[in-house]
């Protein structure tokens, strides 16, 4: 049977029309997927820019969060590299420029110090020469023309005293006259404590956020701090941030305490009195609470005083903070770390912890007048000021969890996530506390100490418990799934 052309066309045309429709749909679907993929790439770019602006260079915790985001969006590695490389290159160029500017500044400062030192030495030599000449004349004439000390004084002693002036004969005469009064010389102020020669400090950039009582961000500013890094085991780092020394007001003023007592119906706020000034020396503090990976690395080291369980935490995850550890466990961790690395690691004192948390602020939180669940991990079903209620994660989160920002010192998770053990014995208030930032002993045997201080609040606590000044206590031998710790490192002077 032979079909006519018209009959063939009648058979083919519906098939061709269907194919055209299918092809058009495929093109439209392909275009839709391309647009979706572009939107996902744009979202990743925005998140990557936020991460870089918040903290640079990116640490492993932020990197892992970005990798998880990439996988959830289904982005190819080569596309992610095309997004990241130009941004990283720009940041590297900026960091290189800042480093070069800092190098030049240090060179200029060193040159100024050298010139000042040489000028001071020149003036001191001139003063010494004049004094020796005057002394020679006095001895030749057998009379005292400058001083008649009421106590025996040798020429060597006199010249030593006189040379302290370093600015000429007049200063020397004043020193000599003061000597007659038998007053001891004023003590010299010690210079700032530098990091040991075997410590390499690296800079890192981050962004600090400040909110008002409504929880609205009213200020964002870039900042920079320095840190050194310990490699604990198999690439597990411990980053220690340099905390400058200074003075601050510790605790809460009486009027504010009474306001809090009335508002939240809790007398525990009175533990934060009396407010007092404390002077804190420079030290290094963990950038994050100790993680489970860090705990496992140190728990595998030889015992100092007690055994450590390698994986005690309730909420598992290498980058989550360690919890379910007692105060004694935390001290053992510090002792093993100190022995292995040849540095002095310990728990922070309450004063060091609050000073580091505040980072120069005087507000209830280092974020400002309140906190929100976009800034920290706590029970967001409760509020502190006029901010709206937020989320409640009911568990710990990885340390430095993006987008939770750090404070002005570059420390993460100071509010919420886990309570942090402090070195101090527990005291119900600040009566008779040291003013130098050291811990206050209880005055009893260590075996009789029952409770230790904890700071910072946790994932399950209300915001009022997460304030910079908030103090709580816990039995030192007990463990809880919302208590962990971070460490400090201190260096003693050699002169």
Ranges of each domain in the chain? 5-75, 202-490
Residues 138, 144 contacting (CB under 8 angstroms): yes
Residues 387, 420 contacting (CB under 8 angstroms): no
pLDDT of residue 212: 97
- The answer to pTM > 0.85 is no
| β-strand pairing of 344-346 with 472-475 | unpaired
* Measured CA distances, 337 to 237, 293, 304, 326, 488 (Å): 13, 14, 10, 17, 11
- Please tell me the distance from the alpha carbon of residue 117 to that of residue 99, in angstroms, as a whole number: 26
- Please tell me the distance from the alpha carbon of residue 218 to that of residue 259, in angstroms, as a whole number: 25
| β-strand pairing of 344-346 with 276-280 | unpaired
Q: What is the DSSP letter of 438?
A: -
Q: Fold for domain 202-490?
A: 3.90.1580
Virtual torsion, Cα 365, 428, 418, 262, nearest 10 deg: -50
Tokens of 86: 């130009």
Virtual torsion, Cα 281, 282, 287, 292, nearest 10 deg: -60
Distance of CA 449 to the CA centre of its chain: 29
| DSSP letter for each residue of 39-52 | HHHHHHHHHHHHHH
Virtual torsion, Cα 387, 408, 297, 403, nearest 10 deg: 40
The count of residues in the chain is 495
pLDDT of residue 176: 38
Q: What is the full per-residue pLDDT of the chain (495 aa) written as tens digits?
A: 677 878 778 888 888 888 888 888 888 888 899 999 999 999 899 888 888 887 778 887 788 888 888 888 999 999 999 999 999 888 888 888 887 887 888 888 788 888 888 888 888 888 888 888 877 777 776 544 444 444 444 444 444 444 444 444 333 333 333 333 333 333 333 444 556 667 889 999 999 999 999 999 999 999 999 999 999 988 899 999 999 999 999 999 999 999 999 999 999 999 999 999 999 999 999 999 999 999 999 999 999 999 999 999 999 999 999 999 999 999 999 999 999 999 999 999 999 999 999 999 999 999 999 999 999 999 999 999 999 999 999 999 999 887 899 999 999 999 999 999 999 999 999 998 899 989 876 554 445 568 999 999 999 999 999 999 999 999 999 999 999 999 999 986 433
Residues 408, 360 contacting (CB under 8 angstroms): yes
* SS3 state at 341: helix
Tokens of 61: 């915790």
pLDDT of residue 182: 38
Q: Which contiguous run of DSSP H or E holds residue 386?
A: none
Q: Which contiguous run of DSSP H or E holds residue 56?
A: strand 55-56
Question: To 5 degrees, how large is the angle CA 345–CA 413–CA 301?
Answer: 35
């Amino acid at each position: 049977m032979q079909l006519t052309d018209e009959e063939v066309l009648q058979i083919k045309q519906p098939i061709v029309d269907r194919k055209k429709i299918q092809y058009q749909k495929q093109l439209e679907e392909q275009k839709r997927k391309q647009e979706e993929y572009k939107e996902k790439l744009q979202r990743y770019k925005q998140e990557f820019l936020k991460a870089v602006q918040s903290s640079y260079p990116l640490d492993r915790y932020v990197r892992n969060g970005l990798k998880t985001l990439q996988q959830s969006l289904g982005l190819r590695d080569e596309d992610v590299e095309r997004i990241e490389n130009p941004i990283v290159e720009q940041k590297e160029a900026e960091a290189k420029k800042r480093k070069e500017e800092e190098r030049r500044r240090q060179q200029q400062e060193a040159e100024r110090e050298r010139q000042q030192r040489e000028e001071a030495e020149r003036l001191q030599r001139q003063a010494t020469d004049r004094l020796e000449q005057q002394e020679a004349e006095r001895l030749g004439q057998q009379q005292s023309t400058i001083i008649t000390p009421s106590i025996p004084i040798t020429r060597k002693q006199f010249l030593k005293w006189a040379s302290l002036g370093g600015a000429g004969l007049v200063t020397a005469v004043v020193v000599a006259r003061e000597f007659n009064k038998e007053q001891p010389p004023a003590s010299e102020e010690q210079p700032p404590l530098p990091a040991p020669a075997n410590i390499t400090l690296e800079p890192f950039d981050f962004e600090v956020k400040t909110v008002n009582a409504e929880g609205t961000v009213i200020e964002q500013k870039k900042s920079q701090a320095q840190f050194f890094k310990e490699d604990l085991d198999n690439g597990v780092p411990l980053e220690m941030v340099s905390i400058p020394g200074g003075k601050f007001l510790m605790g809460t003023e009486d009027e504010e305490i009474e306001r809090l007592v009335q508002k939240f119906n809790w007398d525990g706020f009175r533990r934060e009195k009396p407010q007092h000034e404390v002077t804190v020396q420079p030290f290094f503090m963990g950038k994050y609470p100790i993680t489970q990976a860090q705990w496992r690395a140190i728990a595998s080291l030889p015992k100092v005083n007690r055994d450590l369980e390698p994986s005690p935490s309730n909420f598992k995850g290498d980058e989550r903070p360690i919890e379910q550890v007692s105060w004694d466990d935390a001290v053992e961790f510090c002792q093993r770390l100190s022995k292995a690395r040849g540095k002095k690691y310990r728990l922070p004192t309450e004063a060091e912890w609050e000073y580091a948390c505040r980072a120069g602020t005087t507000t209830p939180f280092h974020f400002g007048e309140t906190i929100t669940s976009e800034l920290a991990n706590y029970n967001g079903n409760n509020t502190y000021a006029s901010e709206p209620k937020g989320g409640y994660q009911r568990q710990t989160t990885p340390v430095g969890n993006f987008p939770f920002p750090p404070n002005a010192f570059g420390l993460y998770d100071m509010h919420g996530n886990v309570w942090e053990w402090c070195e101090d014995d527990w005291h119900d208030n600040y009566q008779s506390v040291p003013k130098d930032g050291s811990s206050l002993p209880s005055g009893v045997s260590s075996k009789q100490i029952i409770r230790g201080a904890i700071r910072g609040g946790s994932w399950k606590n209300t915001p009022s418990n997460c304030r910079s000044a908030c103090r709580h206590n816990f039995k030192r031998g007990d463990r809880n799934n919302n208590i962990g710790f971070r460490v400090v490192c201190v260096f003693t002077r050699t002169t």
